[in-house]
Amino acid sequence: MSDDTESYGFDTLQIHAGARPDPATGARNTPIYQSTAYVFRDAEHAAALFNLQEVGYIYSRLTNPTVAVLQERIATLEGGVGAVCCSSGHAAQIMALFPLMQPGRNVVVSTRLYGGTVTQFSQTIKRFGWSAKFVDFDDEAAVKAAIDDDTRAIFGEAIANPGGYIMDVRAIADIADGAGIPLIIDNTTATPYLHRPIEHGATLVVHSTTKYLTGNGTVTGGCVVDSGNFDWAASGKFPSMSEPEPAYHGLKFAETFGPLAFTFHGIAIGLRDLGMTMNPQAAHYTLCGIETLSLRMERHVENAEKIANWLENDDRVDFVTYAGLKSSPYYKRIEKVCPKGAGALFTFAVKGGYEACVKLVDSLEIFSHVANLGDTRSLIIHAASTTHRQLTAEQQEAAGAAPNVVRVSIGTEDCDDLIRDLDQALGKATS
Ligand SMILES: *Cc1c(COP(=O)(O)O)cnc(C)c1O
Protein backbone atom coordinates (compact mmCIF):
# COMPACT_ATOMS: atom_id res chain seq x y z
CA MET A 1 0.00 0.00 0.00
CA SER A 2 1.32 3.46 -0.80
CA ASP A 3 1.58 6.12 1.91
CA ASP A 4 -1.02 8.32 0.22
CA THR A 5 -3.76 7.71 2.77
CA GLU A 6 -6.09 10.27 1.18
CA SER A 7 -6.93 7.92 -1.66
CA TYR A 8 -8.04 4.95 0.45
CA GLY A 9 -11.37 4.29 2.11
CA PHE A 10 -11.98 3.69 5.81
CA ASP A 11 -12.24 -0.11 5.47
CA THR A 12 -8.82 -0.24 3.81
CA LEU A 13 -7.17 2.16 6.24
CA GLN A 14 -8.44 0.36 9.36
CA ILE A 15 -6.45 -2.68 8.17
CA HIS A 16 -3.37 -1.10 6.57
CA ALA A 17 -2.67 2.45 7.81
CA GLY A 18 0.69 2.69 9.57
CA ALA A 19 1.66 -0.93 8.93
CA ARG A 20 4.03 -2.47 6.42
CA PRO A 21 5.64 -5.90 6.18
CA ASP A 22 8.35 -6.11 8.83
CA PRO A 23 11.60 -4.92 7.20
CA ALA A 24 13.69 -7.53 9.02
CA THR A 25 11.58 -10.65 8.49
CA GLY A 26 8.80 -9.85 6.04
CA ALA A 27 6.22 -10.69 8.72
CA ARG A 28 2.88 -9.59 7.32
CA ASN A 29 1.19 -8.91 10.64
CA THR A 30 2.80 -6.24 12.82
CA PRO A 31 5.19 -8.01 15.20
CA ILE A 32 4.98 -7.44 18.94
CA TYR A 33 8.28 -5.68 19.54
CA GLN A 34 8.68 -6.88 23.09
CA SER A 35 11.80 -4.84 23.78
CA THR A 36 12.50 -2.17 26.36
CA ALA A 37 15.46 -0.57 24.61
CA TYR A 38 16.93 -0.13 21.12
CA VAL A 39 20.60 -0.19 20.15
CA PHE A 40 22.01 3.12 18.92
CA ARG A 41 24.04 2.93 15.70
CA ASP A 42 26.73 5.07 17.36
CA ALA A 43 27.09 7.92 19.84
CA GLU A 44 26.13 10.51 17.24
CA HIS A 45 22.91 8.65 16.45
CA ALA A 46 22.10 8.48 20.16
CA ALA A 47 22.65 12.22 20.57
CA ALA A 48 20.47 13.01 17.54
CA LEU A 49 17.63 10.90 18.96
CA PHE A 50 17.84 12.56 22.36
CA ASN A 51 17.88 16.00 20.72
CA LEU A 52 14.73 15.04 18.76
CA GLN A 53 16.69 15.84 15.57
CA GLU A 54 16.09 12.32 14.31
CA VAL A 55 13.02 10.18 14.87
CA GLY A 56 13.71 6.67 16.14
CA TYR A 57 13.49 4.36 19.09
CA ILE A 58 15.27 4.89 22.40
CA TYR A 59 13.28 3.30 25.20
CA SER A 60 9.75 1.88 25.25
CA ARG A 61 8.39 4.30 27.83
CA LEU A 62 8.65 6.84 24.99
CA THR A 63 8.16 4.92 21.77
CA ASN A 64 7.82 1.33 20.61
CA PRO A 65 7.47 0.07 17.01
CA THR A 66 4.24 -1.88 17.67
CA VAL A 67 2.66 1.03 19.50
CA ALA A 68 3.83 3.37 16.73
CA VAL A 69 1.82 1.43 14.13
CA LEU A 70 -1.31 1.76 16.25
CA GLN A 71 -0.64 5.49 16.73
CA GLU A 72 -0.45 6.02 12.99
CA ARG A 73 -3.52 3.83 12.43
CA ILE A 74 -5.70 5.81 14.83
CA ALA A 75 -4.35 9.19 13.67
CA THR A 76 -5.20 8.24 10.07
CA LEU A 77 -8.71 7.02 10.89
CA GLU A 78 -9.39 10.25 12.80
CA GLY A 79 -7.86 12.47 10.12
CA GLY A 80 -5.21 13.81 12.51
CA VAL A 81 -1.51 14.47 11.94
CA GLY A 82 -0.23 12.43 14.88
CA ALA A 83 -1.27 10.43 17.91
CA VAL A 84 0.17 9.28 21.22
CA CYS A 85 -1.08 6.04 22.73
CA CYS A 86 -1.10 5.58 26.47
CA SER A 87 -2.08 3.09 29.12
CA SER A 88 -5.82 3.86 29.39
CA GLY A 89 -8.52 6.28 28.35
CA HIS A 90 -8.15 8.12 31.63
CA ALA A 91 -4.42 8.43 31.04
CA ALA A 92 -5.21 9.90 27.60
CA GLN A 93 -7.38 12.59 29.18
CA ILE A 94 -4.56 13.66 31.51
CA MET A 95 -2.07 13.48 28.62
CA ALA A 96 -4.32 15.75 26.53
CA LEU A 97 -4.71 18.35 29.26
CA PHE A 98 -1.15 18.25 30.62
CA PRO A 99 0.56 20.46 27.99
CA LEU A 100 -2.25 23.02 28.22
CA MET A 101 -2.76 23.38 31.95
CA GLN A 102 -0.98 24.88 34.93
CA PRO A 103 -2.05 25.44 38.54
CA GLY A 104 -4.97 27.90 38.54
CA ARG A 105 -6.13 27.02 35.02
CA ASN A 106 -9.47 25.44 34.21
CA VAL A 107 -11.23 23.40 31.56
CA VAL A 108 -14.88 23.86 30.59
CA VAL A 109 -16.51 20.42 30.37
CA SER A 110 -19.89 18.94 29.49
CA THR A 111 -22.12 17.69 32.29
CA ARG A 112 -22.77 14.60 30.14
CA LEU A 113 -19.63 12.51 30.57
CA TYR A 114 -18.49 9.01 31.48
CA GLY A 115 -18.84 8.65 35.27
CA GLY A 116 -15.12 8.08 35.81
CA THR A 117 -14.37 11.24 33.86
CA VAL A 118 -16.73 13.26 36.06
CA THR A 119 -14.80 12.05 39.11
CA GLN A 120 -11.39 12.62 37.47
CA PHE A 121 -12.36 16.19 36.52
CA SER A 122 -14.38 17.19 39.58
CA GLN A 123 -12.01 15.71 42.18
CA THR A 124 -8.64 14.32 41.14
CA ILE A 125 -7.34 17.09 38.85
CA LYS A 126 -7.73 19.52 41.77
CA ARG A 127 -4.57 17.94 43.18
CA PHE A 128 -2.71 19.43 40.22
CA GLY A 129 -4.27 22.83 40.90
CA TRP A 130 -6.50 22.45 37.81
CA SER A 131 -10.27 22.70 37.87
CA ALA A 132 -13.22 21.83 35.66
CA LYS A 133 -16.38 23.87 35.13
CA PHE A 134 -19.35 21.62 34.31
CA VAL A 135 -21.81 23.12 31.84
CA ASP A 136 -24.80 21.90 29.81
CA PHE A 137 -23.38 21.90 26.27
CA ASP A 138 -26.84 22.44 24.79
CA ASP A 139 -26.77 25.88 26.40
CA GLU A 140 -24.26 27.68 24.18
CA ALA A 141 -24.58 30.95 26.12
CA ALA A 142 -23.64 29.07 29.31
CA VAL A 143 -20.60 27.52 27.62
CA LYS A 144 -19.44 30.98 26.48
CA ALA A 145 -20.10 32.45 29.92
CA ALA A 146 -18.07 29.72 31.64
CA ILE A 147 -14.92 30.58 29.66
CA ASP A 148 -12.62 32.97 31.51
CA ASP A 149 -9.00 34.15 31.22
CA ASP A 150 -7.79 30.96 32.92
CA THR A 151 -9.69 28.53 30.66
CA ARG A 152 -7.33 26.47 28.54
CA ALA A 153 -9.65 23.93 26.85
CA ILE A 154 -13.20 22.74 26.31
CA PHE A 155 -13.92 19.02 26.73
CA GLY A 156 -16.93 16.90 25.75
CA GLU A 157 -18.00 13.49 24.43
CA ALA A 158 -19.35 13.31 20.86
CA ILE A 159 -21.85 10.60 21.81
CA ALA A 160 -22.05 10.82 25.57
CA ASN A 161 -22.00 7.78 27.76
CA PRO A 162 -24.34 6.68 29.28
CA GLY A 163 -27.36 8.56 27.96
CA GLY A 164 -26.63 8.49 24.23
CA TYR A 165 -26.57 12.31 24.12
CA ILE A 166 -25.32 13.69 20.80
CA MET A 167 -23.16 16.80 21.09
CA ASP A 168 -23.30 19.53 18.47
CA VAL A 169 -19.53 19.38 18.05
CA ARG A 170 -19.39 22.11 15.41
CA ALA A 171 -21.27 24.61 17.58
CA ILE A 172 -18.94 24.04 20.55
CA ALA A 173 -15.87 24.10 18.25
CA ASP A 174 -16.95 27.54 17.04
CA ILE A 175 -17.11 28.75 20.64
CA ALA A 176 -13.63 27.32 21.31
CA ASP A 177 -12.29 29.03 18.17
CA GLY A 178 -13.80 32.33 19.27
CA ALA A 179 -12.03 32.03 22.62
CA GLY A 180 -8.71 30.88 21.09
CA ILE A 181 -8.67 27.61 23.02
CA PRO A 182 -8.68 23.98 21.84
CA LEU A 183 -11.73 21.72 21.84
CA ILE A 184 -10.97 18.19 23.06
CA ILE A 185 -13.46 15.50 22.08
CA ASP A 186 -13.65 12.09 23.75
CA ASN A 187 -14.65 10.01 20.73
CA THR A 188 -14.64 6.64 22.53
CA THR A 189 -18.30 5.77 22.14
CA ALA A 190 -18.71 7.06 18.57
CA THR A 191 -15.38 5.83 17.11
CA PRO A 192 -14.00 7.48 13.94
CA TYR A 193 -16.30 5.23 11.92
CA LEU A 194 -19.43 7.01 13.18
CA HIS A 195 -17.99 10.47 13.89
CA ARG A 196 -14.74 12.28 13.07
CA PRO A 197 -14.48 15.23 15.47
CA ILE A 198 -11.60 16.92 13.61
CA GLU A 199 -13.88 17.38 10.58
CA HIS A 200 -16.26 19.19 12.93
CA GLY A 201 -13.58 21.57 14.24
CA ALA A 202 -12.07 19.69 17.21
CA THR A 203 -8.38 20.27 17.96
CA LEU A 204 -7.67 17.07 19.89
CA VAL A 205 -9.45 13.71 20.06
CA VAL A 206 -9.05 11.30 22.96
CA HIS A 207 -9.98 7.64 23.06
CA SER A 208 -10.34 4.84 25.50
CA THR A 209 -9.03 2.19 23.07
CA THR A 210 -10.24 -0.27 25.70
CA LYS A 211 -13.69 -0.03 24.12
CA TYR A 212 -14.72 -0.27 20.45
CA LEU A 213 -11.27 0.24 18.90
CA THR A 214 -10.07 -3.00 20.51
CA GLY A 215 -13.61 -4.29 20.46
CA ASN A 216 -13.52 -7.48 22.46
CA GLY A 217 -12.72 -6.46 26.01
CA THR A 218 -9.14 -7.73 26.20
CA VAL A 219 -6.87 -4.77 27.04
CA THR A 220 -7.01 -1.23 28.40
CA GLY A 221 -5.49 1.59 26.44
CA GLY A 222 -5.91 5.19 25.40
CA CYS A 223 -4.92 7.58 22.66
CA VAL A 224 -4.59 11.34 22.07
CA VAL A 225 -4.92 12.41 18.43
CA ASP A 226 -3.86 15.88 17.29
CA SER A 227 -5.52 17.61 14.34
CA GLY A 228 -2.38 19.70 13.80
CA ASN A 229 -4.68 22.69 13.22
CA PHE A 230 -4.18 24.74 16.37
CA ASP A 231 -1.83 27.73 16.49
CA TRP A 232 -0.25 27.24 19.93
CA ALA A 233 1.75 30.47 19.73
CA ALA A 234 -1.12 32.81 18.80
CA SER A 235 -2.32 33.78 22.29
CA GLY A 236 0.57 33.24 24.70
CA LYS A 237 -1.80 31.00 26.69
CA PHE A 238 0.17 27.80 26.05
CA PRO A 239 3.76 28.51 27.14
CA SER A 240 4.70 24.83 27.35
CA MET A 241 4.02 24.61 23.60
CA SER A 242 5.16 28.05 22.41
CA GLU A 243 7.89 29.20 24.84
CA PRO A 244 11.24 27.59 25.65
CA GLU A 245 10.25 24.45 27.62
CA PRO A 246 12.56 24.07 30.65
CA ALA A 247 11.67 20.35 30.89
CA TYR A 248 13.30 19.84 27.46
CA HIS A 249 16.40 22.09 27.65
CA GLY A 250 14.54 25.13 26.37
CA LEU A 251 13.09 23.57 23.20
CA LYS A 252 10.21 25.51 21.63
CA PHE A 253 7.86 22.75 20.54
CA ALA A 254 5.49 24.82 18.38
CA GLU A 255 8.32 26.50 16.50
CA THR A 256 10.39 23.33 16.07
CA PHE A 257 7.68 20.80 15.16
CA GLY A 258 4.88 22.91 13.65
CA PRO A 259 1.71 20.83 13.28
CA LEU A 260 3.37 17.88 15.07
CA ALA A 261 4.20 19.94 18.18
CA PHE A 262 1.51 18.43 20.40
CA THR A 263 2.44 14.87 19.42
CA PHE A 264 6.16 15.42 20.04
CA HIS A 265 5.39 17.13 23.35
CA GLY A 266 3.19 14.17 24.32
CA ILE A 267 6.04 11.73 23.79
CA ALA A 268 9.08 13.80 24.80
CA ILE A 269 7.54 15.24 27.96
CA GLY A 270 4.16 13.54 28.58
CA LEU A 271 5.22 9.90 28.28
CA ARG A 272 8.77 10.58 29.43
CA ASP A 273 7.74 12.23 32.70
CA LEU A 274 4.23 10.92 33.43
CA GLY A 275 5.05 7.41 32.19
CA MET A 276 1.49 6.36 31.27
CA THR A 277 2.76 4.23 28.42
CA MET A 278 0.86 1.66 26.35
CA ASN A 279 2.66 -1.68 26.25
CA PRO A 280 3.28 -3.47 22.93
CA GLN A 281 1.02 -6.43 23.84
CA ALA A 282 -1.92 -4.07 24.34
CA ALA A 283 -1.11 -2.34 21.03
CA HIS A 284 -1.10 -5.76 19.33
CA TYR A 285 -4.58 -6.66 20.61
CA THR A 286 -5.92 -3.27 19.63
CA LEU A 287 -4.36 -3.54 16.16
CA CYS A 288 -6.10 -6.90 15.73
CA GLY A 289 -9.41 -5.44 16.83
CA ILE A 290 -9.30 -2.21 14.88
CA GLU A 291 -9.13 -4.13 11.56
CA THR A 292 -12.84 -4.96 11.88
CA LEU A 293 -14.00 -1.67 13.42
CA SER A 294 -16.38 -0.62 10.63
CA LEU A 295 -17.90 -4.10 10.34
CA ARG A 296 -18.53 -4.29 14.05
CA MET A 297 -19.89 -0.76 14.32
CA GLU A 298 -22.39 -1.42 11.53
CA ARG A 299 -23.72 -4.45 13.39
CA HIS A 300 -23.60 -2.69 16.78
CA VAL A 301 -25.74 0.13 15.37
CA GLU A 302 -28.15 -2.20 13.54
CA ASN A 303 -28.75 -4.22 16.72
CA ALA A 304 -29.01 -1.11 18.91
CA GLU A 305 -31.64 0.44 16.64
CA LYS A 306 -33.77 -2.73 16.67
CA ILE A 307 -33.49 -3.24 20.42
CA ALA A 308 -34.16 0.41 21.30
CA ASN A 309 -37.30 0.31 19.15
CA TRP A 310 -38.44 -2.94 20.76
CA LEU A 311 -37.86 -1.59 24.28
CA GLU A 312 -39.63 1.68 23.53
CA ASN A 313 -42.76 -0.24 22.56
CA ASP A 314 -42.70 -2.46 25.67
CA ASP A 315 -44.96 -1.32 28.50
CA ARG A 316 -42.57 -2.59 31.21
CA VAL A 317 -40.20 0.19 30.06
CA ASP A 318 -40.79 3.87 30.89
CA PHE A 319 -38.45 5.43 28.36
CA VAL A 320 -35.41 4.75 26.17
CA THR A 321 -32.72 7.41 25.62
CA TYR A 322 -31.27 6.17 22.34
CA ALA A 323 -30.68 9.11 19.97
CA GLY A 324 -31.47 6.85 17.03
CA LEU A 325 -35.16 6.85 18.07
CA LYS A 326 -37.44 9.42 16.47
CA SER A 327 -38.68 10.29 19.96
CA SER A 328 -35.20 11.42 21.05
CA PRO A 329 -34.55 15.16 21.33
CA TYR A 330 -31.17 14.41 19.73
CA TYR A 331 -32.56 12.55 16.71
CA LYS A 332 -32.26 15.69 14.58
CA ARG A 333 -28.52 15.93 15.33
CA ILE A 334 -27.70 12.48 13.98
CA GLU A 335 -27.64 13.51 10.35
CA LYS A 336 -25.18 16.30 11.14
CA VAL A 337 -22.96 14.57 13.71
CA CYS A 338 -23.10 10.81 13.07
CA PRO A 339 -25.12 9.97 9.94
CA LYS A 340 -24.10 6.29 10.00
CA GLY A 341 -25.87 5.85 13.34
CA ALA A 342 -26.06 6.96 16.94
CA GLY A 343 -23.81 4.25 18.36
CA ALA A 344 -24.83 1.29 20.45
CA LEU A 345 -24.96 2.67 23.94
CA PHE A 346 -28.11 3.86 25.65
CA THR A 347 -30.11 3.73 28.82
CA PHE A 348 -33.67 2.72 29.50
CA ALA A 349 -35.89 3.19 32.52
CA VAL A 350 -37.56 0.13 34.00
CA LYS A 351 -40.97 0.38 35.68
CA GLY A 352 -40.35 -0.49 39.32
CA GLY A 353 -37.25 1.74 39.71
CA TYR A 354 -34.05 0.79 41.50
CA GLU A 355 -35.26 -2.65 42.68
CA ALA A 356 -36.52 -3.70 39.24
CA CYS A 357 -33.25 -2.56 37.63
CA VAL A 358 -31.18 -4.66 40.01
CA LYS A 359 -33.44 -7.68 39.35
CA LEU A 360 -33.26 -7.18 35.58
CA VAL A 361 -29.47 -7.11 35.64
CA ASP A 362 -29.40 -10.29 37.74
CA SER A 363 -31.88 -12.12 35.46
CA LEU A 364 -30.21 -11.62 32.08
CA GLU A 365 -28.42 -14.61 30.55
CA ILE A 366 -26.65 -13.33 27.43
CA PHE A 367 -26.04 -9.77 28.62
CA SER A 368 -23.11 -9.59 31.05
CA HIS A 369 -23.24 -7.38 34.10
CA VAL A 370 -19.93 -5.53 33.78
CA ALA A 371 -18.43 -2.06 34.03
CA ASN A 372 -17.33 -1.88 30.41
CA LEU A 373 -18.71 -0.98 27.01
CA GLY A 374 -17.84 -1.41 23.37
CA ASP A 375 -17.41 -5.18 23.53
CA THR A 376 -18.69 -7.63 20.90
CA ARG A 377 -20.67 -9.06 23.85
CA SER A 378 -23.79 -7.26 25.00
CA LEU A 379 -23.24 -5.64 28.37
CA ILE A 380 -25.49 -4.06 30.95
CA ILE A 381 -24.88 -2.05 34.07
CA HIS A 382 -26.98 -0.29 36.64
CA ALA A 383 -24.98 2.94 36.72
CA ALA A 384 -26.52 4.39 39.89
CA SER A 385 -25.30 1.47 41.98
CA THR A 386 -21.91 1.09 40.21
CA THR A 387 -20.07 3.45 37.79
CA HIS A 388 -21.99 6.55 38.85
CA ARG A 389 -22.21 5.61 42.55
CA GLN A 390 -19.68 8.27 43.66
CA LEU A 391 -21.78 11.04 42.10
CA THR A 392 -24.41 13.14 43.84
CA ALA A 393 -28.08 12.64 42.92
CA GLU A 394 -27.96 15.79 40.74
CA GLN A 395 -24.78 14.63 38.99
CA GLN A 396 -26.38 11.20 38.38
CA GLU A 397 -29.47 12.82 36.89
CA ALA A 398 -27.39 15.22 34.74
CA ALA A 399 -25.23 12.35 33.49
CA GLY A 400 -28.32 10.31 32.54
CA ALA A 401 -27.72 7.74 35.28
CA ALA A 402 -30.76 8.08 37.53
CA PRO A 403 -31.60 5.14 39.88
CA ASN A 404 -34.42 3.81 37.62
CA VAL A 405 -32.27 3.42 34.50
CA VAL A 406 -29.88 0.76 33.26
CA ARG A 407 -27.22 1.29 30.61
CA VAL A 408 -26.75 -1.23 27.83
CA SER A 409 -23.87 -1.60 25.40
CA ILE A 410 -25.40 -3.60 22.58
CA GLY A 411 -23.09 -6.26 21.15
CA THR A 412 -22.89 -7.98 17.80
CA GLU A 413 -24.76 -11.19 18.70
CA ASP A 414 -27.98 -12.32 16.94
CA CYS A 415 -30.45 -9.57 17.63
CA ASP A 416 -33.36 -11.97 18.16
CA ASP A 417 -31.44 -13.73 20.93
CA LEU A 418 -30.76 -10.42 22.67
CA ILE A 419 -34.42 -9.40 22.49
CA ARG A 420 -35.52 -12.79 23.86
CA ASP A 421 -33.08 -12.38 26.73
CA LEU A 422 -34.33 -8.88 27.56
CA ASP A 423 -37.93 -10.09 27.32
CA GLN A 424 -37.51 -12.91 29.87
CA ALA A 425 -35.47 -10.72 32.26
CA LEU A 426 -37.95 -7.83 32.10
CA GLY A 427 -40.65 -10.38 32.92
CA LYS A 428 -38.81 -11.41 36.09
CA ALA A 429 -37.87 -7.84 37.03
CA THR A 430 -41.39 -6.43 36.85
CA SER A 431 -43.53 -9.36 38.02
C1 LIG B 1 -14.10 3.90 29.43
C2 LIG B 1 -14.16 5.33 29.08
C3 LIG B 1 -13.17 6.21 29.51
C4 LIG B 1 -12.00 5.76 30.35
O5 LIG B 1 -11.22 4.85 29.67
P6 LIG B 1 -10.33 3.72 30.40
O7 LIG B 1 -9.66 3.03 29.27
O8 LIG B 1 -11.27 2.86 31.17
O9 LIG B 1 -9.39 4.47 31.29
C10 LIG B 1 -13.26 7.53 29.12
N11 LIG B 1 -14.29 7.97 28.38
C12 LIG B 1 -15.27 7.15 27.96
C13 LIG B 1 -16.36 7.70 27.14
C14 LIG B 1 -15.24 5.81 28.29
O15 LIG B 1 -16.21 5.00 27.87
Closest CA to 331 of 191, 165, 199: 165
Residue 251 Cα to ligand 1 middle (Å): 32
More confident residue, 348 or 2: 348
378 lines ligand 1 (CB under 6 A): no
Q: What is the mean pLDDT of the chain?
A: 95
Strand (E) or helix (H) holding 195: none
Which of 96-100, 114-118, 379-383, 398-402: highest mean pLDDT?
96-100
191 lines ligand 1 (CB under 6 A): no
116 lines ligand 1 (CB under 6 A): yes
The DSSP bridge partners found for residue 132 are 107
4 falls in which pLDDT band (50, 70, 90)?
A: low
3 falls in which pLDDT band (50, 70, 90)?
A: low
In angstroms, the Cα distances linking 258 to 11, 220, 246, 316, 406 are 30, 31, 19, 57, 46
* Average pLDDT rounded to a whole number, residues 171-177: 98
186 lines ligand 1 (CB under 6 A): yes
For atom 11 of ligand 1, the residue with the nearest CA is: 114
User: 341 in the Ramachandran plot: left (φ > 0), alpha (ψ -120 to 50) or beta?
Assistant: left
For atom 2 of ligand 1, the residue with the nearest CA is: 208
pLDDT on residue 415: 98
114 lines ligand 1 (CB under 6 A): yes
- Helix pair angle (293-312, 415-430), 10° resolution: 40
pLDDT tens, position by position, 375-430: 999 999 998 888 778 778 887 877 678 899 999 999 999 999 999 999 999 999 99
pLDDT tens, position by position, 78-94: 999 999 999 999 999 99
* Average pLDDT rounded to a whole number, residues 51-68: 93
pLDDT on residue 7: 86
